[in-house]
Amino acid sequence: MNDPTQTVFEAAFLPRLREALPKLRAASAQTAAYRRPVERDRQSLARLRRMDAMQLHAMAAARKTGRLGRIRGLGAAIRRMEAREFGWCDACGAFTGLRRIGLGPTVMRCRYCAG
């Protein structure tokens, strides 16, 4: 397989990466209300409501953590593309492979270095 050029990478992946970043940031802003601290409620079913609210809070916090990781990964992929380093392994410098990049453009290492 021939190594593709950076222009092919830019045409194939850069628009997709740049489109995904604002969507992730908007999703994080939309769920901010769920991540607020849970207040005590002194009504009859207060304990169950509080437990539900705490579970929603924990799930929203976990989703935010995952989204922040994806945002950092996409930002790093865009920076690597702009530096003409996209598609090459950070550890050994070998070509990462189109199949591997196609699965996730935030991949930074070839399959051998990724372990």
Give tens-digit pLDDT for 53-112.
Answer: 788 888 888 888 998 998 998 898 888 888 888 888 889 988 888 888 888 888 888 888
Structure tokens of 67? 């989204």
pLDDT band for position 1 (50/70/90)?
Answer: very low
pLDDT of residue 41: 59
CA pair distance 77, 103, nearest whole angstrom: 13
pLDDT of residue 40: 61
Structure tokens of 17? 């990466």
Q: What is the rounded (10 degree) CA torsion for 54, 60, 64, 66?
A: 100
Structure tokens of 100? 């591997």
- Non-local (6+) Cβ contacts of 100 within 8 A are 107, 110, 111
pLDDT of residue 50: 75
Q: How far is CA 44 from CA 41, 50, 57, 99, 102, in A?
A: 9, 11, 21, 56, 53
Per the model's pLDDT, the better-predicted residue between 78 and 51 turns out to be 78
